[in-house]
Structure 1
Amino acid sequence: MDKHDQLNRIKENFINSQKVLQAIGDETRQSILLVLMKTECKTGLRVGEITEQTHLSRPAVSHHLKVLRDAGIILMRKEGTKNFYFINIRSKLDLLKNLVMNIDKFMKDFH
């Protein structure tokens, strides 16, 4: 693959990764992700539990959870009227891995 093709692939990776980059670029969402990483994968946490551990308001936590869900980074499991949030193991974070690997390969090949 030549330099031009690699740059096009990297550009495509950036476009595909935009939602994920925006979602994880926020410090508040990073703190929510760290809280979720401490819990069992499929068990998850409720908004109130995340609120307690992050010291954010419930509406703020709900907003940030929506952004993370829309980006495909976390999932929600319903149990009756209760919602449990957890990290999506097969998440869109793989897009970032591909982006970083392609940039790394480009830098090694052409610099």
Structure 2
Amino acid sequence: MQAVLEAVVEPRRREILRLVRVSEQTAGSIAAHFPDVSRPSVSQHLRVLRDAGLLHERREGTRRLYRARAEGLTEVRAFFEEFWDSRLQTLKVEAEREQRRQDADRKNH
């Protein structure tokens, strides 16, 4: 999980994940989205994402094609869902408590 968090903390890496979320793209196509960044830097970003398990790399001749691996976020997602689920449960309990209070007020008036 640490490698995933460290990979996605960088804004350009998050943008790369967005670019390849729906369709596979070549390294050159990805790099073209970042004219202010050198190709070696983009390659380094791709390597970090791949090593973290967030990208799938496929070779086609001399080209490298990348696509997002949603399953690479599974552990991080589960971690954050623990907090979200507990927060939703707290909200549910409070909403039910408020509903009972309102129902009691209606009965008393």
TM-score relative to the length of structure 2:
0.71
Q: What SS does the corresponding residue of 1:54 show, helix, strand or coil?
A: coil
2:44 aligned partner, one-letter code: H
Q: What CA distance in whole angstroms lies between the structure 1 residues aligned with 2:72 and 2:43?
A: 20
Q: What CA distance in whole angstroms lies between the structure 2 residues aligned with 1:101 and 1:30?
A: 20
When the two chains are superposed, the root-mean-square deviation of aligned CA atoms in Å is 1.7
Query: 1:79-102: CA deviations, max 9, x gaps?
Result: 12211011113x220111110122
1:26 aligns with 2:7: no
Q: What CA distance in whole angstroms lies between the structure 2 residues aligned with 1:101 and 1:35?
A: 25
Q: What SS does the corresponding residue of 1:86 show, helix, strand or coil?
A: strand
Please report how far the alpha carbon of residue 20 of structure 1 lies from its aligned counterpart in structure 2 after TM superposition. 0.7
Q: Conserved in 2, the CA contact under 8 Å of 1:46 and 1:85?
A: yes
Q: What SS does the corresponding residue of 2:7 show, helix, strand or coil?
A: helix
Q: What SS does the corresponding residue of 2:59 show, helix, strand or coil?
A: strand
Q: What CA distance in whole angstroms lies between the structure 1 residues aligned with 2:19 and 2:53?
A: 17
Structure 1 stretches lacking a partner, 5+ long: 1-16
1:50 is aligned, of 11, 25, 30, to 30
User: What is aligned with 1:11?
Assistant: none
- Larger-Rg structure: 2
Q: Conserved in 1, the CA contact under 8 Å of 2:53 and 2:72?
A: yes
Task: Give the number of aligned pairs.
Answer: 88
Q: What CA distance in whole angstroms lies between the structure 1 residues aligned with 2:65 and 2:77?
A: 27
Bigger relative contact order, structure 1 or 2 (CA pairs below 8 A, ≥6 apart): 1
User: What is aligned with 2:48?
Assistant: 67
Structure 2 stretches lacking a partner, 5+ long: 91-109
Q: What CA distance in whole angstroms lies between the structure 2 residues aligned with 1:45 and 1:54?
A: 14
Query: 1:68-88: CA deviations, max 9, x gaps?
Result: 001100110111221101111
